[in-house]
Amino acid sequence: MKIGFLGLGTMGTPMANNLRKSGHTVTVWNRTPGKADPLVKKGAKPAGTPRQATSGQEVVILCVADEKAVDGVLEGPDGVLAGLDPGVVVVDCSTAGVRSAGLVEERVKARGGSFLAAPLLGSKAAAEKAQLTIVVGGSAEAREKARPALRAVSARIIEIDSAPKAALMKLVVNAVGGAMMTAFGEALAFGASGGLEIEKIIETIQASSFHSPLFLMKGEQILNKDWTPRFAVALAEKDQRLVQDAAATQGVVMPISSAVRRVFAEAIESGRGDRDMCAVTDLFFERAGLKR
Ligand code: NA7
């Protein structure tokens, strides 16, 4: 298929590369143009604007930071909507929230295209190995058209008949993930402040019925003080903001998510916004007066 791919960050770059490797013709665009160079060297076609990356494609995939970034690439004379041919499927792999999914769907439909919200589960390593799980929501026809592209980057596709509901599903998952990450960091600092060794704490949690692959993966990063972003604190805070927005619309109170959002926000204020979300552990250690 002819695919336009917009947003070459941590997740987008390996996804676009896997699409290319599986034989699709991929045209790439990124706000910071230099990030497209490695993919172009490997055979992807460069585009100067979102409009150019969209024009003449069968499927257009977005993988940008948040709902504002999605609006930014869609709108304007050089935007995706300006270059959209009728019948094209726009697939948003960003985590942009429920409201954005509904609004973008309307705008794409008004231009004769169809829209899928297709948020990603899994981080950088899964994206590199084409082992992501994708929650895809939208019409059956659009899902059918986009399936070859989604298969090329994922190990599992969970299908839902509505774009906003797929966006909601992703927020449900990240409400759990954010709580797990922050609770883990807080508990490590709690144990360490009473004299327990971090490695021993992680080993013991993993031997309990509360064990998790998240704690294994993040535990190793925490032990190595490796804050390289697989999933940045700023994006984790944004997800809880989107959870809170959707919860307010649905009339649901989510005190855990509120507290988690505050922790991520404080991590950003302390200068840790571009670090991996496990850097919240560092914040808890600092607050407990612990040196590592
Ligand atoms: P990254 O690595 O932070 O990458 C974010 C991408 O979004 C990157 O290509 C950015 O371009 C792009 N971006 C950010 N703001 C804008 C605006 N305003 N306009 C256009 N493009 C923009 O994120 P991940 O790859 O980890 O995650 C992507 C999504 O999946 C996100 O929603 C996660 O929550 C899940 P840049 O290179 O900075 O110019």
**Residue 259 domain boundaries:** 168-287
Residue 62 Cα to ligand 1 midpoint, Å, equals 9
> CATH number of the domain that 142 lies in?
3.40.50.720
Based on the fold, state whether residues 245 and 262 are members of the same structural domain.
yes
**What mean pLDDT comes out for the span 74-86?**
97
Residue range 195-228, pLDDT digits in tens: 999 999 999 999 999 999 999 999 999 999 999 9
Based on the fold, state whether residues 149 and 10 are members of the same structural domain.
yes
pLDDT at 106: 98
Which residue intervals of 43-90 are DSSP H helices? Answer: 50-54, 67-74
> CATH number of the domain that 200 lies in?
1.10.1040.10
Q: Among the three residues 161, 187, 216, which one is the final residue of a domain in this structure?
A: 161
Beta bridge partners of 60: 4, 90
Query: Ligand 1: which of 64, 93, 104 to mutate, judged by most atoms within 8 Å of the beta carbon?
Result: 64
Q: pTM here?
A: 0.96
Based on the fold, state whether residues 126 and 217 are members of the same structural domain.
no
Based on the fold, state whether residues 214 and 138 are members of the same structural domain.
no
As for how many domains the chain has, the answer is 2
Residue 288 Cα to ligand 1 midpoint, Å, equals 33
The atom number, within ligand 1, closest to the CA of 238 reads 34
Please check the confidence at residue 291 and state whether its pLDDT lies above 90.
no
pLDDT at 218: 97
Query: pLDDT band at residue 6, thresholds of 50, 70 and 90?
Result: very high
Lookup result for tokens 């726009």: 90
223-225-230 Cα angle (round to 5): 105
Pair 15, 28: CB distance under 8 Å: no
Based on the fold, state whether residues 206 and 281 are members of the same structural domain.
yes
Based on the fold, state whether residues 136 and 191 are members of the same structural domain.
no
Please check the confidence at residue 49 and state whether its pLDDT lies above 90.
yes
Percent of the residues in the chain that have a pLDDT greater than 90, as a whole number: 99
The torsion angles phi and psi of 273, rounded to 5 degrees, stand at: -55, -35
Based on the fold, state whether residues 8 and 153 are members of the same structural domain.
yes
Judge whether 69 lies within some domain: yes
pLDDT at 162: 98
pLDDT at 123: 85
Judge whether 145 lies within some domain: yes
The torsion angles phi and psi of 251, rounded to 5 degrees, stand at: 70, 30
Mean pLDDT of the chain: 97
Q: Among the three residues 161, 179, 204, which one is the final residue of a domain in this structure?
A: 161
Token couple for 13: 């770059």
Judge whether 80 lies within some domain: yes
Mapping DSSP to helix (H, G, I), strand (E, B) and coil, where does residue 223 land? helix
Based on the fold, state whether residues 137 and 182 are members of the same structural domain.
no
Please check the confidence at residue 159 and state whether its pLDDT lies above 90.
yes
Residue 188 Cα to ligand 1 midpoint, Å, equals 30
pLDDT at 3: 98
Ligand 1 pocket, Cβ-based, cut-off 6 angstroms: 7-12, 30-32, 35, 63-66, 68-69, 72-73, 94-95, 120, 232, 235
Based on the fold, state whether residues 79 and 176 are members of the same structural domain.
no
pLDDT at 292: 79
Judge whether 292 lies within some domain: no
Based on the fold, state whether residues 151 and 193 are members of the same structural domain.
no
Token couple for 42: 């490997």
Top pLDDT among 287 and 292 is at 287
